[in-house]
């Protein structure tokens, strides 16, 4: 049966009340298996390549670390430019707009994923979740076309492809489901039909990765202990959420400024990511913790933050926003979640050092949640991530901080990393498609 009435999206009751939905969920469970396998391959290449380039090679080469960092980052920019130029770039609009239309083009996705891996391995300040989302969406959309699904069912299948990839990456079904919905702006009607399907897909994704590797994804971080809840901690959470709002405005200024400065390089698409790589390489040579997505680097912050000092932690938090903006604006494909969590963790630790009456665990978790709500615009995802990564007793703190950041940033139209990523994606498509030689030309 059709589940679109004209241009109107059907209600949950209309979808869930049909036996067709049960059949759709079963197909989604089947689809989630190959997506999880692709996710596992992606993560193995990402982690293995990063280890090879940043641990094995430097140990065998007699070259200073700062020079090596600049060389690898610049070379990575060159390879990203070549990849986007010759391996292909995704056709179509941003992932969010394509989700609204119900169909996600899969032409050029393989080239995008390979190119993104090269950029990530070269040290780009981007997260691996961006390419994973595109890969899962493309596979889900392709699978829905093979089944000849209607537009609304195709939307659900495509969303579930993203959830399967995120579930395999995070190792948590609810985290993967909410992340897929907030990452694409799909936390809307039909919410139960979307959520059930996405959770099933994320569950399959997580279980396939876990059963093939016998380990859960390595997202466990050494968060400081929490001595217990006090009502004043909720006040701290509100304040940290508002600090997240301030960081959102700072991100907006940095991203718009960087984008404006690199726009003249659109005339030379191969040079644009080279310049971007050179810049984040120079910053990385000076501040090595700003390199990469921020997962491993955040662990360093949590363990050594007191030795690093408040001033340097604040500097790291700001420059991570800068390198994230550079990478997005210069064409590197990737996500924003873990770079922003690193920035938030650095800032939160610094706030504790300046205001020691705020418990360290409250400052770090509250700041991560505040930035997650304000800049990422993904409050539910960050609440679940904090629940998974830190002490569950801190959930009231993360909830208040995330919603404070989200509501204030939405009201005041502060910086939005998700929108910035999609704008960068559309700009990348326009630049590299327009640079391709026309047939017969």
3-state secondary structure 375-432: CCCCHHHHHHHHHHHCCHHHHHHHHHHHHHHHHHHHHHCCCCHHHHHHHHHHHHHHHH
Residue spans of alpha helices (H) in 52-124: 57-60, 65-82, 95-101, 109-121
Q: Which residues contact 23 (CB under 8 A, 6 or more apart)?
A: none
Domains of the chain, residue spans: 4-213, 232-432
For 33-92, what is each residue's pLDDT tens digit?
999 999 999 999 999 999 999 999 988 888 899 999 999 999 999 999 999 888 866 554
**pLDDT at 19 (0 to 100):** 77
**pLDDT at 211 (0 to 100):** 85
| Residue 169, CA distances (Å) to 36, 163, 165, 189, 366 in order | 9, 10, 6, 26, 24
Q: Name the DSSP class of 56.
A: I
**pLDDT at 430 (0 to 100):** 79
4 three-state secondary structure: strand
Global pTM?
Answer: 0.91
pLDDT under 50: residue ranges of the chain: 1-7, 92, 438-441
For 108-127, what is each residue's pLDDT tens digit?
788 889 999 999 999 999 99
Phi/psi at 5 (5° precision) = -110, 100
Give the closest residue to 302 by CA, choosing from 336, 352, 337: 352
Task: Write the CATH number of the domain with boundaries 4-213.
Answer: 1.10.3080.10
Q: Contact, 294 vs 339, CB < 8 A?
A: yes
**pLDDT at 5 (0 to 100):** 44
In CATH, what is the architecture of 232-432?
Answer: Orthogonal Bundle (1.10)
Domains 4-213 and 232-432 share a fold: yes
Q: Contact, 349 vs 224, CB < 8 A?
A: no
Euclidean distance between CA atoms 113 and 427, whole angstroms: 17
């Amino acid at each position: 049966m059709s589940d679109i009435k004209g241009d109107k999206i059907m209600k949950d009751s209309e979808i869930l009340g049909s036996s067709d939905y049960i059949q759709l969920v079963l197909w989604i469970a089947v689809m989630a298996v190959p997506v999880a396998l692709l996710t596992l391959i992606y993560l193995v290449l990402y982690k293995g390549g990063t280890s090879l380039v940043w641990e094995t090679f430097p140990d065998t080469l007699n070259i200073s670390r700062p020079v090596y960092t600049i060389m690898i980052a610049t070379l990575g920019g060159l390879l990203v430019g070549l990849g986007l130029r010759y391996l292909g770039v995704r056709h179509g609009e941003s992932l969010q707009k394509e989700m609204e239309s119900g169909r996600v083009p899969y032409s050029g996705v393989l080239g995008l994923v390979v190119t993104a891996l090269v950029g990530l391995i070269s040290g780009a300040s981007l997260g691996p979740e961006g390419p994973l989302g595109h890969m899962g969406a493309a596979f889900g959309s392709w699978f829905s076309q093979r089944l000849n699904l209607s537009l609304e069912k195709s939307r659900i299948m495509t969303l579930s492809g993203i959830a399967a990839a995120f579930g395999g990456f995070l190792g948590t079904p609810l985290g993967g489901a909410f992340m897929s919905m907030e990452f694409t702006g799909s936390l809307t009607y039909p919410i139960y039909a979307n959520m059930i399907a996405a959770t099933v897909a994320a569950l399959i994704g997580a279980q396939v990765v876990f059963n093939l590797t016998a380990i859960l994804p390595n997202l466990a971080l050494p968060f400081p202990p929490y001595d217990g809840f006090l009502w004043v901690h909720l006040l701290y959470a509100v304040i940290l959420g508002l600090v997240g709002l301030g960081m959102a405005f700072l991100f907006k200024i940095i991203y718009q400024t960087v984008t404006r400065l690199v726009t003249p390089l659109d005339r030379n698409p191969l040079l644009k990511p080279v310049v971007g790589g050179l810049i984040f390489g120079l910053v990385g040579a000076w501040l090595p913790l700003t390199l990469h997505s921020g997962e491993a680097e955040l662990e360093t912050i949590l363990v050594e933050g007191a030795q690093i000092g408040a001033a340097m932690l604040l500097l790291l938090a700001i420059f991570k926003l800068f390198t994230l903006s550079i990478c997005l604006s210069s064409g590197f494909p990737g996500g924003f979640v873990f770079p922003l969590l690193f920035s938030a963790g650095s800032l939160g630790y610094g706030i504790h050092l300046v205001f020691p009456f705020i418990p360290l665990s409250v400052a770090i978790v509250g700041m991560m949640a505040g930035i997650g709500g304000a800049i990422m615009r993904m409050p539910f995802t960050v609440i679940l991530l904090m629940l998974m990564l830190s002490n569950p007793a801190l959930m009231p703190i993360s909830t208040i901080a995330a919603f404070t950041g989200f509501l204030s940033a939405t009201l005041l139209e502060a910086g939005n990393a998700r929108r910035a990523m999609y704008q960068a994606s559309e700009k990348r498509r326009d630049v590299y498609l327009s640079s391709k030689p026309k047939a017969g030309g």
